[in-house]
Amino acid sequence: MKPQLWKIPPVQISGEQVDQLYEKLHQRLIEISSRYQRVRFATSLAAEDMVITDAIARENIKIEIFTLNTGRLHEASIKMHGAVQSHYKIQIRSIEPEQEQVKQFIEQVGLNAFYESEDAKKSCCDIRKVKPLQKALDGAQAWLTGQRKEQSVTRTELLFEEKDIARGIAKFNPIFDFSEQEMWAYIQTRQVPIHPLHQQGYPSIGCEPCTRAIREGEDVRAGRWWWLQKDSKECGLHVTESLQK
Residues with catalytic function: 235
d(CA 223, CA 202): 7
Handedness of CA 192, 196, 198, 202 (dihedral sign): negative
Taking Cα atoms as reference points, which of 153, 137, 152, 148 lies closest to residue 237? 137
Strands 161-164 and 142-144: unpaired
Q: Which element (helix H / strand E) includes 40?
A: strand 39-42
DSSP 210: G
Q: State the DSSP string of 183-196.
A: HHHHHHHTT----G
d(CA 127, CA 111): 13
Q: Which element (helix H / strand E) includes 77?
A: helix 75-88
d(CA 173, CA 238): 11
SS3 call for 221: coil
Taking Cα atoms as reference points, which of 128, 136, 138, 143 lies closest to residue 49? 143
Sequence-distant (≥ 6) Cβ neighbours of residue 75 within 8 angstroms: none
